[in-house]
Amino acid sequence: MTDTTAPFAVNQAHLWPLAAGLALLGFLWFGPLPEMARGSFSAHMVMHMGVVAVVSPLLALGISRALPAQVAALPPALAIAASLFEFAAVWTWHAPALHDAARMQTGLFVMEQASFLAAGVLVWTTAVGAKAAGVCALLITSMHMVLLGALLLLAPRALYACAAVCSSAASLTPLGDQQLGGALMLVIGGSAYLAGGLALLSTVLRDRAPIGEAG
């Protein structure tokens, strides 16, 4: 008698990144961080980096395993468009006026976090599908994450009015809290997308190697 449960179990195990991503997203959004983020820029940045640099690639990997043909069929131009969308989302929500409003108004905070998730999943998923264009998309995203992180880290004063009206992070001044948040974006955001781009580049080169050897 043939055991039909084994392939199903293997397929379920194959989708562990999707389950891990959803579990981590639940912790980030429904754990203590959202309340902490109201009074701490660095806690806000932990949420942001967790969503785009950890949750999003896990979800993208799970989606690519669940729907390999559909992801592989994604057009390369979509990966570049996705990177531009994430650039717009990240820089727009970190503009002082909008960022302050999102930290103080629940509705805007939800919109901000949803846009970070949508942009992150779109970039990582299209990158996996587009291969070579995906390398460019991830490296572009890495560069603008590093740039924004450096601006936040090196700013001579606190850029956000919320730092003066929200309770600040324990033992940190508003400027110190902002600098820590900038460092988190620079290191985590920049390195995650850079590592993803290099890993994807290695798969592109490996896939093309037999063609070159055959020639």
Examine residue 66 and state whether it is found in any structural domain, yes or no: yes
Examine residue 1 and state whether it is found in any structural domain, yes or no: no
Contacts of 85 (CB under 8 A, 6+ apart): 119, 122, 123
**Given this model, what pLDDT does residue 172 score?**
83
Examine residue 55 and state whether it is found in any structural domain, yes or no: yes
Residue range 104-133: mean pLDDT, rounded: 96
Examine residue 201 and state whether it is found in any structural domain, yes or no: yes
Examine residue 64 and state whether it is found in any structural domain, yes or no: yes
**Given this model, what pLDDT does residue 192 score?**
97
Interior/surface letters 107-133, b for 16+ CB within 10 angstroms, e for the rest: ebbeebbebbbbbbbbbbbbbbbbbbb
* The total number of structural domains that make up the chain: 1
Q: Domain span at residue 107?
A: 13-214
Distances (CA, A) of 147 to 36, 91, 150, 165: 25, 10, 5, 27
Task: Break the chain down into helix, strand, coil percent, rounded to 5.
Answer: 85, 0, 15
State yes or no: pLDDT of 212 exceeds 70: no
**Given this model, what pLDDT does residue 33 score?**
94
Distances (CA, A) of 169 to 103, 120, 141: 14, 27, 28
State yes or no: pLDDT of 88 exceeds 70: yes
Residue 35 vs residue 11, higher pLDDT? 35
Distances (CA, A) of 99 to 38, 69, 83, 106, 214: 11, 38, 21, 12, 54
Angle value at C-alpha 61, between 28 and 43, nearest 5 degrees: 20
Examine residue 3 and state whether it is found in any structural domain, yes or no: no
126, two tokens:
């299209």
Examine residue 139 and state whether it is found in any structural domain, yes or no: yes
Examine residue 8 and state whether it is found in any structural domain, yes or no: no
160, two tokens:
């956000």
Give per-residue pLDDT as tens, 27-54.
Answer: 999 999 999 888 889 999 999 999 999 9
State yes or no: pLDDT of 3 exceeds 70: no
